Amino acid sequence: MCIIALIGGMKLELRVLRYFLAVVGEESISRAAEALHVTQPTLSRQLSELEKKLGKNLFLRGSRKIALTEDGMFLRKRAQEIVDLVDKTEADLSASDEIVSGEILIGAGETDAMRLIARTVKKMLGNYPHIRYQLFSGNAEDVTERLDKGLLDFGILIGAVDIRKYDCLRLTAVDTWGLLMRKDSELAASSTIRPEDLQNIPLLCSRQALIRNELSGWLGDDFEKLNIVAGYNLIYNAALMVEEGVGYAMCLDKLVNTTEDSKLCFKPLEPRFESRLYLVWKKYQIFSKAAEKFLQQMHSEISYLNKIRAAEVE
């Protein structure tokens, strides 16, 4: 199939983009040629023509391994997105009318709400065993970027949702903000953390929280006075920094091991600060059959949980 991709106003064949990605992945033209079942001179010629067509040097010459220039790194990102989107589209179109199959791509930040997704997937596996799932982890920026490009079917977002761009389903869970710290730190004796407790201590803060000012309302004018020594994308590495005594991490609950065996503990903020969670998808999106079934199951799960909560309140 001859599929054409448009990058920077230049028409490029999908086959050439796959060649380029194979060379980058193998870090060797000879190994890539072997994997692609083409000759090395043919592959080298295709890469040279690609550089000529784009008018850019994609590879650093003289390196023992294949290394990319800045333009090469940009092309790798865009080429991978294009190839992924084409593969997903072809898989959705070729899915059987009788058997519900295909891939569902879900993006999410770090949140305990993924347990609801996991329970839904488990039930889906029983009813639709031919569906496969791809999970992408990233912050809100990463997830929405991939949603906008059609590289995800669904995303899990924390906090406000731009309803001009996305449809959404509110999840039953909420995430609680707090402070992750060593158990031998001064604040570990406190049951909760108040705004004044954050003054003059080294803080690691989520990039997502910084960008969207998740905590500015809770802190008020004191937000600008915080001593933020580092930002992080995912909490795992930040937790290692906390464990080594770099500082305290502002984060969500239930993401880091704080059991007896751990050196860390989590203290919620006071007043309590929570973020709502949403399953989102692009407006006017045309779902595959697999994605439709997943969304139906999510509706059922949330409806069931809401009925349980209502019964408990009564």
pTM (2 decimals)?
0.69
Residue type, 32: A
The residue count of the chain comes to 314
**Per-residue pLDDT for the chain (314 aa), expressed as one digit of tens each?**
444 555 554 556 888 998 999 998 888 888 888 888 889 999 999 999 999 988 889 988 766 678 899 998 999 888 888 888 888 777 777 665 667 888 999 999 888 889 999 999 999 999 999 999 999 998 888 899 999 988 999 999 988 888 899 999 999 888 999 999 999 999 999 999 999 999 889 999 887 755 456 677 788 766 677 899 998 988 999 999 999 999 999 999 999 999 999 999 999 999 999 988 999 999 988 888 899 999 999 999 999 888 887 777 66
Domains defined along the chain, listed by start? 4-91 (1.10.10.10), 99-173+276-313 (3.40.190.10), 176-274 (3.40.190.10)
23: exposed, middle or buried (Cβ count in 10 Å: 0-12, 13-18, 19+): buried
CB atoms within 10 A of CB 265: 18
Residue 212 CA: distances (Å) to CA of 16, 30, 206: 39, 46, 10
Closest-CA residue to 249 (of 216, 203, 313) = 203
CB 114, CB 158: distance < 8 Å? no
